Chain A
Amino acid sequence: MSLLEMTLDAPRLLEMQPLLRVNNLCKNYGGIRALENVSLHVYPGEVLGIVGESGSGKSTVLRLLNLEEPETSGTYQLEIPELLGQNLFELNRFQKRETRVHHIGIVYQNPHLGLRMHKSSSGNVAERLILAGEKRFAELRRAARESLQASEFPIARMDEPPIHLSGGMQQRVQLAKAIAMKPKLLLLDEPTTGLDVSVQALVLDTLKRLQFELEMTMILVSHDLGVIRTLADRVMVMRGGRVVESGLTDQVLEDPQHAYTQQLVHAKL
């Protein structure tokens, strides 16, 4: 293909279908409205950042996208051959588990939510493959080692339980577990909050490299605008369960339109 032809192609984003489509997502906890009409589209290979103060509903969005909890209303679609046209919220418990195992990875801020702290680290990763039906021990070992290596986990310690590991290493185990099945979608809920700044930088490097190598679509929740700036292509600002502003990261962070975003950005500076 000549250079000329290439430039005549329509812009990539115009032709591409979003990998993920969420429309009018609402979630109530009893009387609390945790999410109010949240809609988002994320394109293949794109990183969407979600920022907002604590209690704004960021984690709730990720839990719903990971099909852990029932929604109150709204639709959720993934552009994956066997799931085309399917509202994922309508799948049964078994199908939801299958979808989670094969197509979605998640890293929680609190490693206790994502890991079995007293099983081996390699076992934590292997569990994803077991769930997907792998019955060969050697293959489980190989895949666990590969994923842990990709997450830059010190491989000599692969059989130690996470409870004995540092916070940074625990996050790497979570990451290895999340990518074990090479999912299309990776959800990250404050993955580096609570880590030392230097460790945080290393984990972010790993994330960036993995996102590039595995061409994963990522949704990254953080209240740290620095983290968002480093990784996110686009950013969505949430407050009180609503999306108040969204756009390209540079635009939103350099030239915030909404008063709340302006506050956030200035507080950071």
Chain B
Amino acid sequence: MKLSELAFERQDYAYAFLDEFAKRELRRKILKAIAIPGYQVPYASREVPMARGWGTGGLQVSLALVGVNDTVKVIDQGDDDSVNAANLRRFIARMTGVKTTTDTLAASLIQSRHRIPEELLNERQVLVLQVPMPEILSSIEPSYARAREMHSDGDYALLWLGLYEDLVKYREVSYGADYPVLVNGRYVMAPSPIPRFDTPKLHQAAHLTLLSAGREKRLYAVPPYTDVYPLEFEDVPFQIEDQRGWRDASTGAAGKFMSEIPQDGGGSSYQLSDTGLKQKLERQMAGEEIEIGATYFDDDTNFYITGFLKGAS
């Protein structure tokens, strides 16, 4: 028997754009990342028809995972309709023929930049986060070799010192997004620039989170039901951005992450950053029968795992 008889016939286009070798490499690296939660696994990072920095890392992971039965949702800062999200979604759909959706509940694969949806993700869903800077230690240790050594020693003293310095200087921790988290009690990782509001959603989450940086060629994972704790001093608890008192202008929804919209008069109005949820709420208000899932935070910004946020105001 000849090798050519065993192999698939050569095709100009591969399913999901990446060739089978690229996808196999990615899947192996993803498995390794899942096996070592929070550990950054280097990967080849192929060329895709999109500039580095526009979500090529997330895209490659999505392409390696997506199958004909998937339904894909892509968001950018919570928004399904931003140019970047729309481009990525259209590309994935064209290269795979999968269905797309803006409804978090209907999606099996969600690629996102900077947000985790407000509705609870479940065990059958995969969240792919686009990562600009995977190395949480890069701001304090310019040498990647040294940073890797620090990870292997579990030496995160400089991160703690950074928190100490913030508290001394500003009386609060200055990390906005990308707040460092300890995964599975072992590796500290950059959760990608999700707001602090989204950070607790990673803790003991039912879904699998994959984080991938195309330019930096690293991917890492938070497997389902894994401990993810923000770095916090015992006596200075981690705090999420305060969203209290803000309501979505059209639906009145509260206790979720809001985008501020400056008004002509100088004031601000607010709207849900999660536009998929916003649309569903609007349709519900218009009388449509529509399922809204349980959310990580209730209307009073109480987190669904009671006691996890010690600093909950």
Contact = CB atoms under 8 A, between A and B. Distances in A.
A131 interface: yes
B147 to A, nearest CB: 15
Interface in A114-139: 116, 119-120, 122-123, 126-127, 130-131, 135-138
B153 A140 contact: no
Nearest to A159: B168
Interface in B158-174: 160-161, 164-165, 167-169
Given A135-B233, A138-B235, A130 B155 contact: no
Contacts of A122: 168
A126 B168 CA distance: 12
B164 A136 contact: no
B196 to A, nearest CB: 18
B161 A93 contact: no
B290 interface: no
A94 B157 CA distance: 13
Contacts of A136: 233-235
A122 B164 CA distance: 9
Interface string A59-95: 0000000000000000000000000000000000110
B157 A130 contact: yes
Nearest to A94: B153
B178 to A, nearest CB: 21
A130 B154 CA distance: 13
Contacts of A138: 235
Given A93-B153, A97-B155, A127-B157, A140 B234 contact: no
Interface string B135-159: 0000000000000010001010100
B95 interface: no
A126 B233 contact: no
Contacts of A135: 160, 233-234
A183 to B, nearest CB: 17
A233 B10 CA distance: 83
Given A97-B153, A97-B155, A137-B167, A119 B161 contact: yes
A22 B113 CA distance: 57
A94 B168 CA distance: 29
A119 B157 contact: no
Interface in A133-175: 135-138, 140, 159
B236 interface: yes
B164 A137 contact: yes
B234 A119 contact: no
Contact of B161 (A94, A127, A159): A127
Nearest to A120: B168
Contacts of B161: 116, 119, 123, 126-127, 130
Interface in B276-309: none
A263 B63 CA distance: 78
A191 to B, nearest CB: 24
A97 B152 CA distance: 13
Given A137-B235, A137-B236, A120 B165 contact: yes
Contact of A140 (B149, B155, B164, B169): B164
Task: Identify the 9 closest CB pairs spanning chains A and B, nearest first.
Answer: A137-B233, A130-B160, A130-B157, A131-B157, A137-B236, A136-B234, A135-B234, A136-B235, A127-B161
Given A137-B164, A137-B167, A137-B236, 14 more contacts: A97-B155, A119-B161, A123-B164, A123-B168, A126-B161, A130-B157, A130-B160, A130-B164, A135-B233, A135-B234, A137-B233, A140-B164, A140-B233, A159-B168
Interface of B: 149, 153, 155, 157, 160-161, 164-165, 167-169, 233-236
Interface of A: 93-94, 97, 116, 119-120, 122-123, 126-127, 130-131, 135-138, 140, 159
10 contacts: A120-B165, A126-B161, A127-B161, A130-B157, A130-B160, A130-B164, A131-B155, A137-B233, A137-B234, A159-B169
